[in-house]
C-alpha cells in the first residue's frame, strides 16, 4: 500500500493471499496507482508491505520500500521478501503509540520504526479512530481496508467462498482449504494437509516411521536421516534430512512421501546405524524401529588390518567381497 508521511493510506492498495507451500519463490506483479494527479510531487509517499496471519488475523511483520524518484509519473520497484518464522518483538522504541498501538521496526530497515495500530485506529501515533464497516470476523485496518478472514472476500469481507466452506470442504482428512486469488478464479483452491497426509486433496497417508533411541547410545540433540533408493539401471539416490530431538524425549517420528529402500541414521560423532532395510517400498506403511548399538555400521578401517589399510584405496577395494563373506 502507499502511505504518506502522516501514515495515511492512499485510496489504492492490493492484497495477496500467500501460501508458502504454493507460492514460495513466486514473483508477484502489483500495480499501485494514484487515483488523481498529486499536487505536491515532492511529498514522500513510500510503500509499506504488511504481513498478517490469515487464520488469526494477527499482524506479523512490515517492510518499507522507498520511492527514489517521486517526481516521475511511473516508478518500477523490485524487491525480495524474506518472511520471518516468528513475530518481531521490539524491546526498545522511542515512539509514542498512545493506547491503541505498539511500536514496531520494519524488517528491512534497522532504524525505521512505526506505530502498528490496533484495529480501528490509524495515524502516526494511532490517535485517529476509523469508521469501519468491515465484517465482525475481519480486521479493520482503516476505513478503506479490511483484512478478511479465511474463505471470505470483498471490500468489507461479507462475501463467502462456497467451495471452501466447512460443510463442503474438498480437502480430505481435515485439510485446510485455501482459495486461489479471487481475481484469478473463484473455483481454484489449495489444500494444506496435516503432517501425516499428502496429495492434492490430502487423500494419501504418509509413511510413518517411529525411531526409538536406545539408552546405551550417547545422548544427542539431533540425528541425520539418510534415505537411500536403489535403481537397477541408474545411480542410487540419497536424500538427507536433519531431525532435532527434544530434550525430554528419546524417539522421533518421521513422515515420508518419497520411496526408499534403506534408511541410515547418522549421529554427530559420524557413527552410522542401519535403521530400515526394505526390498520394495510400501505406501502408507507404519514402521517401528530402534537405534541400537548392534546395528552400527562398522567403518571399513575397523575391519581391515594395518597392512590392508596401507594399500591405496583402489587396491584394497577388491578385498571388500571377502569382508562381506566373513561378516555376513
pLDDT digits (tens, 9 = 90+) for 213-253: 887 665 778 899 999 999 988 899 999 999 988 888 888 99
High-pLDDT (> 70) share of the chain, %: 88
Task: Tell me: do 130 and 253 sit in the same domain.
Answer: no
Task: Tell me: do 143 and 281 sit in the same domain.
Answer: no
Q: How confident is the model at residue 283 (pLDDT cuts 50, 70, 90)?
A: confident
Give the pLDDT confidence of 111-135 residue by residue, as tens digits.
Answer: 888 888 888 888 888 888 888 889 9
Task: Tell me: do 8 and 127 sit in the same domain.
Answer: yes
Task: Tell me: do 251 and 316 sit in the same domain.
Answer: no
Cβ neighbours for 110, distance < 8 A, ≥ 6 positions apart = none
Task: Tell me: do 130 and 183 sit in the same domain.
Answer: no
Question: Which among 163, 159, 131 has a CA at the least distance from the CA of 144?
Answer: 131
CATH number of the domain bearing residue 201 = 2.10.25.10
Task: Tell me: do 126 and 59 sit in the same domain.
Answer: yes
Task: Tell me: do 29 and 149 sit in the same domain.
Answer: yes
pLDDT at 299 over 60: yes
CATH number of the domain bearing residue 284 = 2.60.40
pLDDT at position 239 is 94
215-240: burial string, b at 16+ Cβ within 10 Å, e else: eebeeeeebebbbbeeeeeeeeeeee
What's the structural domain count of the chain?
4
pLDDT at position 211 is 92
Which class for 5: exposed (0-12), middle (13-18), buried (19 or more C-beta within 10 A)?
exposed
Task: Tell me: do 200 and 210 sit in the same domain.
Answer: no
Which has the minimum average pLDDT: 144-153, 160-169, 242-251? Answer: 160-169
pLDDT at position 266 is 92
Which alpha helices (H) appear in 2-51, and where do they start and end? 20-23
pLDDT at position 34 is 67
pLDDT at 187 over 60: yes
Task: Tell me: do 245 and 277 sit in the same domain.
Answer: yes
pTM of the model: 0.71
| One-character DSSP codes across 180-229 | --TTT-SS-EEEE--TTEESTTS-EEPEEEEEEE-TTSPP-SEEEEEEEE
Task: Tell me: do 192 and 177 sit in the same domain.
Answer: yes
Half-sphere exposure at residue 7, Cβ-oriented, CA atoms within 13 angstroms:
16
The last residue of one of the domains, among 94, 124, 159, is 159
Task: Tell me: do 183 and 213 sit in the same domain.
Answer: no
CB 245 within 8 A of CB 222: yes
pLDDT at position 39 is 56
Distance CA 78, CA 47 (A): 12
What angle (nearest 5°) sits at the alpha carbon of residue 105, between those of residues 104 and 106? 125
Task: Tell me: do 121 and 194 sit in the same domain.
Answer: no
User: What length is written for the chain?
Assistant: 328
Enclosing domain of residue 327: 299-328
Amino acid at each position: 500500500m502507499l502511505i504518506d508521511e502522516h501514515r495515511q493510506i492512499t485510496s489504492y492498495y492490493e492484497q495477496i493471499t500467500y501460501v508458502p507451500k504454493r507460492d514460495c519463490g513466486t514473483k508477484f506483479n502489483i500495480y499501485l496507482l494514484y487515483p488523481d494527479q498529486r499536487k505536491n510531487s515532492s511529498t514522500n509517499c513510500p510503500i509499506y508491505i504488511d504481513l498478517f496471519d490469515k487464520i488469526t488475523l494477527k499482524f506479523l511483520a512490515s517492510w518499507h520500500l522507498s520511492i527514489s524518484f517521486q517526481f516521475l509519473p511511473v516508478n518500477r520497484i523490485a524487491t525480495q521478501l524474506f518472511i520471518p518464522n516468528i513475530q518481531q518483538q521490539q524491546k526498545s522504541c522511542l515512539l509514542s503509540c498512545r493506547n491503541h498501538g505498539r511500536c514496531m521496526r520494519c524488517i528491512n530497515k534497522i532504524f525505521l520504526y512505526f506505530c502498528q495500530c490496533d484495529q480501528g485506529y490509524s495515524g502516526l501515533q494511532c490517535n485517529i479512530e476509523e469508521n469501519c464497516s468491515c465484517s465482525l470476523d475481519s480486521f479493520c485496518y482503516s476505513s478503506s481496508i479490511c483484512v478478511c478472514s479465511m474463505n471470505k472476500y470483498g471490500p468489507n469481507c461479507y462475501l463467502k467462498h462456497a467451495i471452501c466452506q466447512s460443510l463442503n470442504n474438498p480437502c480430505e482428512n481435515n485439510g485446510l482449504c485455501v482459495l486461489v486469488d479471487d481475481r484469478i478464479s473463484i473455483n481454484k483452491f489449495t489444500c494444506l494437509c496435516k503432517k501425516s497426509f499428502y496429495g492434492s486433496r490430502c487423500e494419501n497417508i504418509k509413511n510413518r516411521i517411529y525411531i526409538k533411541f536406545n539408552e546405551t547410545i550417547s545422548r544427542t540433540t539431533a540425528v541425520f536421516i539418510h534415505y537411500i533408493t536403489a535403481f537397477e539401471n541408474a545411480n542410487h539416490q540419497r536424500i538427507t534430512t536433519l531431525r532435532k530431538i527434544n530434550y525430554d524425549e528419546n524417539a522421533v517420528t518421521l513422515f515420508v512421501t518419497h520411496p526408499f529402500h534403506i534408511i541410515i541414521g547418522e549421529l554427530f560423532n559420524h557413527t552410522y546405524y542401519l535403521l530400515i532395510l526394505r526390498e520394495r517400498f510400501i505406501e502408507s506403511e507404519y514402521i517401528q524401529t530402534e537405534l541400537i548399538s548392534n546395528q552400527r555400521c562398522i567403518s571399513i578401517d575397523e575391519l581391515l588390518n594395518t597392512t590392508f589399510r596401507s594399500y591405496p584405496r583402489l587396491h584394497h577395494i577388491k578385498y571388500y567381497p571377502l569382508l562381506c563373506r566373513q561378516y555376513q
